[in-house]
Structures are given as C-alpha cells and as structure tokens.
Amino acid sequence: MRTKGADFIWFDGNIVKWEDANIPVTTHALHYGTSVFEGIRAYSSRNNLYVFRLREHLERLQQSAAVYSIALKYTAEELQGATIELLKKNQMRQSCYIRPLAFVGQHGIDLNVTMDSPTHVVIIMFPFAKYFKEEGIRACISSWRRIHDSSTPPMAKAGGNYLNSVLATQESNRNGYEESVMLDRDGNVSEASGENIFIVRNNKIYTPHIGVSALEGITRDTAMEIAKNLGYEIVERPISRTELYMADELFLTGTAAEITAIVNIDGRPVGDGKEGPVSGRIRTIYSKIVTAELADYNKWLTPVW
C-alpha cells in the first residue's frame, strides 16, 4: 500500500495501530522473499460486509507455509477469527481487500529456514473497489516464462514468486497493455501475472491444468463451479499460445481481478473485441454471489456484522 489503508493491523495475535506495525530491516523475508500470503476480498451488501471464501484462503496460506517450512503459529480457525475481529476494530463496512502475510523474521543471513525459524503473521486490510475495467482489458504474451515446479513451486503463494510476475507486468505496461499472459517453460499457456486464465471456444470452456505452473486459484475454482452450474463443459488441459488467437472469448479470474474479460491479445481482437456472453454470464453471477444475492452460494460468505 502506498498510504495508510486502515487504522489498525493484526500483528502476531495483537491489534496494533497502523503506524506501530514495524519490522527490522534485517528481517529475513525482506532480503530473501521468505513469505507467504493471501489476497481476500470482502464485499459490502445488504447492510453487512461479507468475506468471500475466507476459510479456503486461510487453509491455502497454511499449505503455502508448509511447502517452505515457514512455521505458521495460528490455525485457519484462529486467523479467521482474527480477520473478523480486525474488520470490526477498523469499523470496516465498505468493500475491502484483506492481506494475511506470514514471513520469516530475525533468522540471520543463512538460507536454512526451518520450522524453528522465527516467523510472524500480519493481517492488513484497506478499502478496495475495481482492479481492472469491467468492460475488459488488453493483454500481451510475456517474453518472461512462468516459474516452474522444478525450481520454485508455483502452487505455493510465496512472496518471492511474484518477482516473476513483476517482470511480466513491467513489460506489458511498457508496451501499452494492461496485463500479461505467461507461458510455461514448454511454451503452453500458464496464467496471467496474477490471475488464472480461461478460453471459450465453440461454447466450451478450457483452462490450463495446474501442471503447467498455474496457481490453484480459489476464484478459478469458483468460476468453474459457476460455469458447470450454468451447463457449460469445462476442460482442464494444456493450451497453446495459438489457441488464444483462435478463442471466441478469454477471461481472467483472481481475487483482485474477479472475472475480467481479455478483449484484445497481442493487438488482436478477441471475438468481436468485447466481453463475450459466456464471460459476461459468469461475471454477473460471480458479482451476485459475493454480494449475497444468491442464497445457494452463501456457503462461501462469512458475514462480519
């Protein structure tokens, strides 16, 4: 965050003032990227605030920490309670973004992080609306390849992983695009810099399986369940770069991006250059789910007030 987002932050079991949540410059995570995190959204609706798929995000945080042997001192249930407590302490009633972060602290300069290394957990939140334009975005294929499981586990949502995405985003923005699509080391479509990707061809939906270095996204899972309930066939398989140029529709899924259509890829219009009907239907239903307008999906919502 460039500026103060809320008055209070949850830090190792205590709620502290934003300006008092400080760490030493010798923190291991600052030097080596030894952190894991989550991005969670809460939506304002019907005189309440609803956190979307809170438990699933916190369970994934635990899984990411386990991959890197970063000791997480709190259970998913404890962190869930802490999140709700912090939202109330900040008197948060508007739609917001929530960032739980676990990181290695004063470990020293060696790289042998173990479950005995000192770790910390923080929860940050700030008001948040739209990340991308609802009408769709322009994207390009990045020259940077997505990290591979043989070197850095892409299924763990680790801070250091995102240097890969930083390079891809910088490149796309320099070239006048709003997002980048990354290929895996074999040249298959992996994901965007911070989102999963779907293509629509002949009224069927395809998405890369997680074996092509894609994150097992929670919004990805949500979109797949919505699509299945709408009667669409979904296939997880390798997708070539060329298929992006042949797609009837392309859309991204992610906590920040929600459901966002790609309307132009590498300077080529996707379909008629507008959000397609399949993407639009999934986006509309997603918007209703997160604002508690569809009771069948309320299992994914945690009310705050």
Residues carrying an active site annotation: 157
- Angle between helix axes 218-229 and 54-67 (nearest 10 degrees) is 130
Closest among 252, 245, 241 to 201, alpha carbons compared: 245
CA distance linking residue 161 with residue 159, whole number of Å: 5
Position 302, amino acid: T
Is there a contact between 263 and 136 (Cβ–Cβ < 8 Å)?
A: yes
Q: Do the beta carbons of residue 90 and residue 7 sit within 8 Å?
A: yes
Do 165 and 240 form a contact (C-beta atoms < 8 A)? no
| Residue 122: partners with Cβ closer than 8 Å, 6 or more residues away | 9, 10, 11, 12, 21, 100, 101, 103
Q: CA 238 to CA 241: how far, in whole Å? A: 10
Taking phi first (over 0 means left), then psi (-120 to 50 degrees means alpha), and beta for anything else, what does residue 34 get?
Answer: beta
Which helix (H) or strand (E) is 168 found in, with range? helix 162-174
Nearest-angstrom CA–CA distance, 127 and 219: 20
CA atoms within 13 A on the CB side of 231: 2
Taking the C-alpha atoms of residue 276 and residue 136, their distance in angstroms, rounded to an integer, is 10
Contact predicate 136/262, CB 8 Å? yes
Query: Treating both helix axes as pointing N-terminal to C-terminal, what angle do 76-89 and 54-67 enclose, rounded to 10 degrees?
Result: 130
